Amino acid sequence: MIKNADRIYYGGDYNPDQWDEATIDEDMRLFRKAGINLVTLPVFSWAKLEPSEGVYDFEWLDRLMDKFLENDIKVCLATPTTAQPAWLSKKYPQVLPVDKQGRKRTHGMRVFFCVNSPKYRERAAAIAEQMAKRYQNYPNLVLWHVANEYGTYCYCPTCQEKFRQWLKARYGTVENLNRQWHTCFWGRTVYDFDEIMLPTELNDDYRFNPTVNLDYMRFMTDSTIECFENEARVLRKYTPNVTIQTNISGHIEKLDQFKMTRHMDIAAWDNYPAPGADPSFVAFKHDLMRGLKNGESFMMQEQSPNQQNWQPFSKLKRPGEVRMLSYQAMAHGSDTCLFFQLRQSIAGQEMYHGAVISHAGHENTRTFRECAQLGMELQKIGDAFLGGRTPADTAILFDWDSWWALEYASKRCLPNDDFNYLKKVSRFYKAHYDRNLPVDLLSVEGDFTRYKVIYAPYLYIMKPGLPEKLKDFVEAGGTLVTTTLSGLADENSKAVFGEYPGALREISGIWVEESDPLTKEERNRMVMEGGFLKGAEYSCMYQCDIIHPRGAKVLANYGDDFYKGTPCFTVNDYGAGKVYYLGTEPDSAFLDDLAAALAADAGVRPPYRADAHVELARRINDRNDILFVLNHNKQEASLDLETDRFTDLITGKQVTGVTTISPNDVMVLKKL
């Protein structure tokens, strides 16, 4: 959690370089009126703070920081290193990235630098040090925010050289690299590390080699961590007690966020759901953020208080929508509620992106009123749920290596390359979310022993030690559910020799002879056979494994095609536990029934009974047990709190028994 936090930080990005003194003074009044207690700045101000190399101008920022102090507004101080000044790109063009097409890019975009550039790192560390020295004793400094939304891949000569060094450190010798990359296929043997190329479009052999791609994505994660650490270590030196983070972009696939967040004091991310997004998909991403640091609270560093700028139709957020999205983030583990941005820019790429203070410039707008209402509510809630954790007996394993291998690195190799890891994994999540069964998103390196049921969908890459961990979990009485495309490859994305599903074969009690991909329109049927959901029939898609049981009990067979009557869903008793194997991708009805049945088997229940589309989530800290109730319905709904008694922290009312909640409304209930 955020060190020394005593309230929910509410506010967001402020870009004062754009505003004159009178506007800034007016903003202080409006911030107070909206209950804003934190600003993030100066994210994009490197050009203003360092107008030429080594010449700094902090006086304007000093004046601003004084105003925040006078107005009791805390500061999340950002190093401005996401947007290097033009003079830097001009003087040192090596800081500019080269894209996958091999094109050297020119100056002009944000997050548009090579994370491996020594010159970029030197100048970034220098300005971070200037800021840290200058503001180390500033009383309202509560957070550091390093750069912004890392994730630019680079293919420049520096990255080429560093990639070779990275491979040398990983594999030791070219002989070992040749073995692990299996370069004898197509005669791609290398004799020296300096013959290895980056996987650009200039080099299709490398671009389509799954192992090279996977290693490149790992390399970019490590390079980005180094780039983050280059600044974070300077900040730590001057302000060891201030929480340091960087905000994870919505494009979370670019970097292994489990690895990234190990270097951050708290996970932080930007929540920009598409208009009309399924609330379960938003909750899924929040829970993934909570999982990054083993269930610790995280920060929602950005969301828009109204429309987002970059979509084909930048729909307005409907009345009450920003409030609902804000409480949903906090219900799932966020200790902050922050916007991009506080005042709407008058020009630039995001000039029509929503803001607390719109171009109208005053408080008489729907957006401002909704933000001010939320600000007042958060003041009432105070620190009630800060640092609170969510108890869960069910986990879904989430693995960036498997994601990368299946969706990017091995795309040209798989029988069916129409693969979207996030969407496919989130379907297992939704089946639980819809029943208010709490789920943790768990790293393969996490602690499995805390859970009764673990889902391991599409767990393609088997890292060393993982098969043993899964086996131990099941032997000790756990229930494991795994699926097609699991267990097939080693950590270097090489197929496991022998029968599929490789390392999962023994515990699942089956072997898979081959897999038949289905086109987007094709479907097969799952005909339930033995005991479990007996008599039911479901539709299935994407891929059909042809399974031979070897000790496992058949629960469903395919209904069509030449493998009609062969198993598609099995269960194997192993030790004190069970392993379910799903050889295909079932429809949502099956996933719902499966989630309900396994939860009942394991004695896992939702906190309370509630109408459909009423979301319940708990956060427990050492002071309080808080229940969030979010009614996503357009009509009144009810829930049964049984004999438990609560205080609604927003209204102050006492609540117990069968309780109703208004359409689109939220309750934050403190258990008495």
What residues between 156 and 215 interact with Zn ion by CB under 5 A? 156, 158-159
Whose Cβ is closer to Zn ion: residue 168's or residue 463's?
168
Taking the least distance from each CB to Zn ion, the nearer of 155 and 451 is 155
Q: Could you tell me the CA-to-CA distances from 180 to 177, 218, 291, 399 in Å, in that order?
A: 5, 15, 31, 21
User: Residue 223 or residue 493: which is nearer to Zn ion going by CB?
Assistant: 223
User: Whole-angstrom Cα distance, residue 146 to residue 128?
Assistant: 9
Considering only CA atoms, give the Rg of the chain: 26
Angle between helix axes 210-238 and 157-171 (nearest 10 degrees) is 100
- Return the closest-CA partner of residue 453 out of 327, 629, 350, 580: 580
Minimum CB distance to Zn ion, residue 102 (Å): 12
Q: Smallest gap, in angstroms, from Cβ of residue 156 to Zn ion?
A: 3
Closer to Zn ion at the Cβ: 90 or 133? 90
Q: Which of 50, 231, 296, 302 is catalytic?
A: 302
Q: Which of residues 103-122 bind Zn ion (CB under 5 A)?
A: 114, 116
CB of 162 to Zn ion, least distance (A): 8
Judged by beta carbon, residue 30 or residue 98, the one nearer Zn ion is 98
Angle at the Cα of 110 from the Cα atoms of 104 and 111, rounded to 5 degrees? 75
In angstroms, give the least distance from the CB of 651 to Zn ion. Answer: 54
H or E stretch at 157:
helix 157-171
Helix (H) or strand (E) holding 130: helix 118-135
Ramachandran assignment for 320, one of left (phi > 0), alpha (psi -120 to 50 degrees), beta (any other): left
Comparison of 153 and 448: residue with beta carbon closer to Zn ion: 153
x/- site string to Zn ion, residues 459 to 498, per CB under 5 A? ----------------------------------------
Q: Centre a 10 Å sphere on the Cβ of residue 261 and count the other Cβ atoms it contains.
A: 25
165 or 176, CB closer to Zn ion?
165
The residue among 165 and 651 lying less far from Zn ion, judged by its C-beta, is 165
Strand partners, 123: none
How many residues of this chain bind Zn ion (CB under 5 A)? 6
Work out how close the CB of 151 gets to Zn ion at its nearest, in angstroms, rounded to a whole number. Answer: 14
Starting at the edge strand that comes first in sequence, how are the strands of the sheet with 38-41 ordered?
A: 243-245, 141-145, 74-78, 38-41, 9-13, 336-339
- 461 has which bridge partners? 489
List the alpha helices (DSSP H) in 382-414: 400-404
Q: Which is nearer to Zn ion, 160 or 309 (CB)?
A: 160
Q: 3-state DSSP: the chain helix, strand, coil percent, rounded to 5?
A: 35, 25, 45
Residue 514 appears among annotated catalytic residues = no
Report the C-alpha gap between 543 and 550 in whole angstroms. 21
Q: Which residue has the tokens 């499966």?
A: 594
Helix (H) or strand (E) holding 508: helix 505-508
Residue 583's CB is within 10 A of a number of other CB atoms, namely 27
- Selected catalytic residue, list 50, 149, 407, 615: 149
Residue 114: CB minimum distance to Zn ion, A: 3
Q: What is the pattern of x (binds Zn ion, CB under 5 A) and - over residues 127-166?
A: ---------------------------x-x-xx-------
Q: CA triplet 630, 631, 637: central angle to 5 degrees? A: 135
Q: How far is the CB of 95 from Zn ion (least distance, A)?
A: 9
| 60-84 as b/e: b if 16+ CB within 10 A | ebeebbebbeebebbbbbbbbbbbb
How far apart CA 433 and CA 439 sit, in angstroms, is 8
Please report how close the Cβ of residue 227 comes to Zn ion at its closest, in angstroms: 11
> DSSP of 323-347, one letter per residue?
HHHHHHHHHTTBSEEEES-SB--SS
The least distance separating Zn ion from the CB of residue 670, rounded to whole angstroms, comes to 51
DSSP 408: I
Compute the least distance from the CB of residue 163 to Zn ion, in Å.
Answer: 9
Nearer to Zn ion, 117 or 341 (CB): 117
Considering the rule CB under 5 A, would residue 227 count as an interface residue with Zn ion? no
254-258: list long-range contacts, CB under 8 Å, 24+ apart: 254/150, 254/151, 254/153, 254/217, 254/220, 255/150, 255/151, 255/220, 255/221, 255/224, 255/400, 256/217, 256/218, 256/221, 256/400, 256/401, 257/288, 257/292, 257/400, 258/292, 258/400, 258/443, 258/445
3 state DSSP class of 186: helix
How would you label 272-287 residue by residue, b for 16+ Cβ within 10 Å and e otherwise?
A: bbeeeeebbbbbbbbb
By C-beta, is 215 or 302 nearer to Zn ion? 215
Q: Catalytic residue at 149?
A: yes
| Shortest spacing between CB 52 and Zn ion, in angstroms | 24
Where along the sequence are the contacts to Zn ion (CB under 5 A)? Answer: 114, 116, 154, 156, 158-159
Active site (catalytic) residues: 149, 302
